């Protein structure tokens, strides 16, 4: 018998085009590495793959391409899982950074409450005094005069709200900004001032409180007046 007998009567088996599209989209899922907004690509690949498999399995053998569809789905899932793991890791890191910053604020609060104003400098960056062109005495006098003022009194608490973490500063350090809220014993309303944090090594430090310690003039002609209080 001829080995070619019956070949002409065999039905043509087509490659499912949706399966091909699934593979293309699966490979294109690498675009998510450029930004999370492109997560729509792997999602589209997975949806296409599911439709492709349904079409192939219901074609009664007239369509093929299930291998392409499955491969496209797996590639899309791989890239999606990679982004998901990174997002989870970043989220956990952000939580840890926030806790560390809150601990720094707590240390600052304890120093101020005990009136260890010079000791409060330990939670500031090393370059803070030089940047503001002030001395330790001027720093301490600022806080001591505030707590001795008739309308302020003792510091009851120091907290922060609306903490915003940024990736890197111009110097390559990680920084964060927030609103510091200081409650005084005699003041009817808490004092709210901007505060900037900088990560030094593995430790977060206060880098600036610009409204309490304003920047010196550009010509360096005068530092902050000794004892300038938080209301200034």
Domain-embedded: residue 123 = yes
Same domain (yes/no): 78, 122:
no
Same domain (yes/no): 131, 58:
no
Domain-embedded: residue 75 = yes
- Asked whether 181 and 191 are in contact (CB, 8 A), the reply is yes
Same domain (yes/no): 118, 204:
yes
Same domain (yes/no): 77, 129:
no
Domain-embedded: residue 222 = no
- Write the CATH number for 199: 3.10.450.100
Mean pLDDT value of segment 206-216 = 91
Domain-embedded: residue 219 = no
Res 228 pLDDT > 60: no
Res 17 pLDDT > 90: yes
Res 2 pLDDT > 50: no
pLDDT reported for residue 9: 44
First to last CA, the chain: 105
- Per DSSP bridges, beta strands 191-200 and 203-208 are antiparallel
Domain-embedded: residue 183 = yes
When divided into structural domains, the chain yields a total of 2
Same domain (yes/no): 118, 199:
yes
Mean pLDDT value of segment 94-119 = 94
Mean pLDDT value of segment 113-131 = 93
Helices (H), 10-65: 17-28, 40-57
How many angstroms separate the CA atoms of 103 and 204, rounded? 9
Same domain (yes/no): 197, 158:
yes
How many angstroms separate the CA atoms of 7 and 94, rounded? 65
Res 12 pLDDT > 50: yes
Same domain (yes/no): 196, 158:
yes
Mean pLDDT value of segment 90-109 = 92
Same domain (yes/no): 79, 123:
no
Which of the pair, 30 or 217, is modelled with greater confidence?
Answer: 30
- What residue numbers bound the domain in which 119 lies? 114-208
pTM of the model: 0.69
Over pLDDT 90: what percentage of the chain?
64
* Sheet containing 191-200, strands listed edge to edge, beginning at the edge strand earlier in sequence: 155-165, 175-184, 191-200, 203-208
Same domain (yes/no): 191, 134:
yes
pLDDT reported for residue 6: 39
Domain-embedded: residue 63 = yes
């Amino acid at each position: 018998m001829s080995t070619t007998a019956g070949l002409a009567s065999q039905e043509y088996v087509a490659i499912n085009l949706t399966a091909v599209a699934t593979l293309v989209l699966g490979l294109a899922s690498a675009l998510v590495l450029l930004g999370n907004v492109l997560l729509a690509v792997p999602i589209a690949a997975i949806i296409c793959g599911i439709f492709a498999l349904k079409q192939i399995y219901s074609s009664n053998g007239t369509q093929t391409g299930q291998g392409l569809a499955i491969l496209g789905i797996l590639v899309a899932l791989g890239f999606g899982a990679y982004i998901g793991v990174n997002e989870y890791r970043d989220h956990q890191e952000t939580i840890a950074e926030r806790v560390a910053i809150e601990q720094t604020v707590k240390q600052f609060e304890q120093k101020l409450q005990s009136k260890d104003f010079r000791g409060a400098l330990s939670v500031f960056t090393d370059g803070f005094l030089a940047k503001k062109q002030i001395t330790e005495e001027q720093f301490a006098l600022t806080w001591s005069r505030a707590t001795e003022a008739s309308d302020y009194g003792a510091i009851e608490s120091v907290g922060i709200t609306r903490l915003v973490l940024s990736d890197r500063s111009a110097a390559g350090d990680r920084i964060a900004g927030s609103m510091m809220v200081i409650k005084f014993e005699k003041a009817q309303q808490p004092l709210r001032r901007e505060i900037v944090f900088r990560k030094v090594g593995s430790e977060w430090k206060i880098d600036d409180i610009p409204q309490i310690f304003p920047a010196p003039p550009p010509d360096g002609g005068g530092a902050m007046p000794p004892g300038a209080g938080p209301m200034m």
